[in-house]
Amino acid sequence: MARFTGKRSVTQVDYLAKDDTVTAAAVDDFFGGAVVLHSIHLENTGATCYAKIYESADPLVGTTDPDIILQADGSEEVVWTIIEGIAFTHFSYAAVATAGTAGVGNPAAGNIDIFMVVR
């Protein structure tokens, strides 16, 4: 399991976070408090899957409505940049094999890598 965060520079308050073990099990309140999401990058080595982002400290994957669902096509890397950012009080996420709120099950490759830039 490799999850980490680190400052992008000494003059900015942006943080780069990486998680290379994202599965259908929710990662609860990853940053431990409020953040503003400015970029998210998904690396998917398997079949099409979906990243679910929650404004919740402890979402239940398959039951809790995600605030954002991002599609990561098979064997692709995708990047979303949000210039103004999206504010979260709590930032939780998971990756699943099927779309929608009810979507569950690990991605075909077992996991995807996710990189986030937050402030």
Residue 27 has what DSSP assignment? B
| pLDDT digits 0-9 by tens, 46-94 | 999 999 999 999 999 999 999 999 999 999 999 999 999 999 999 999 9
pLDDT above 80 for 11:
no
- Quote the pTM value: 0.88
Taking phi first (over 0 means left), then psi (-120 to 50 degrees means alpha), and beta for anything else, what does residue 20 get? alpha
pLDDT of the residue at 111:
78
For the chain, the structural domain boundaries read: 3-118
Residue 39 has pLDDT above 50, yes or no: yes
Cα-based angle 18, 23, 25 (whole degrees, multiple of 5): 110
How confident is the prediction for the chain on average, in pLDDT? Answer: 89
pLDDT of 41 reads 96
